[in-house]
Amino acid sequence: MKKALVVDDSKAIRGMLARILTRNGFDVLQAGDGYEALAALDGDAADIDLLCVDYNMPEMNGIELLTEMREQPRFDDLAVMMVTTETHIESITSALALGANEYVMKPFTESMITDKLRILGFVTA
């Protein structure tokens, strides 16, 4: 089974994304910030296929997490989807330049997330 890690400081958003990902065949883990995500990745790095990351979080934000991860070759094949309220073009280009594979702006719909999963090759049809 595919495995995803949802990283967002909002429990409600984590829950919504987890439900969408579960319906799309993922086993889902959750983290409230970048530090929790790194701890989860240290334990399950080889098993995680997709990371859904919020841009703005306390402690370690999504950009800091992305930067930390992309500096480590073991995460080269890990797909990252930023799911955030950041709509400025500078934020989008920064995230993509740092190694995010896709970018979704909140509020999102299930079909938006499913479309991005299809682009990333996780969903067919």
Is 96 a member of any domain? yes
Is 124 a member of any domain? no
Q: How many domains does the chain have?
A: 1
pTM, two decimals, is 0.94
The strand ranges marked E within 23-100 are 26-31, 50-53, 79-84
Please, which pLDDT band fits residue 46 given cuts at 50, 70 and 90?
low
**pLDDT tens profile 16-43:** 999 999 999 999 999 999 999 999 998 7
**Helices and strands (H, E) in the chain, number of each type:** 5, 5
Provide the CATH number for the domain around residue 55: 3.40.50.2300
Query: Cα(14)–Cα(74) distance, rounded to whole angstroms?
Result: 25
Whole-Å CA distances, 26 to 6, 46, 52, 114: 11, 15, 12, 12
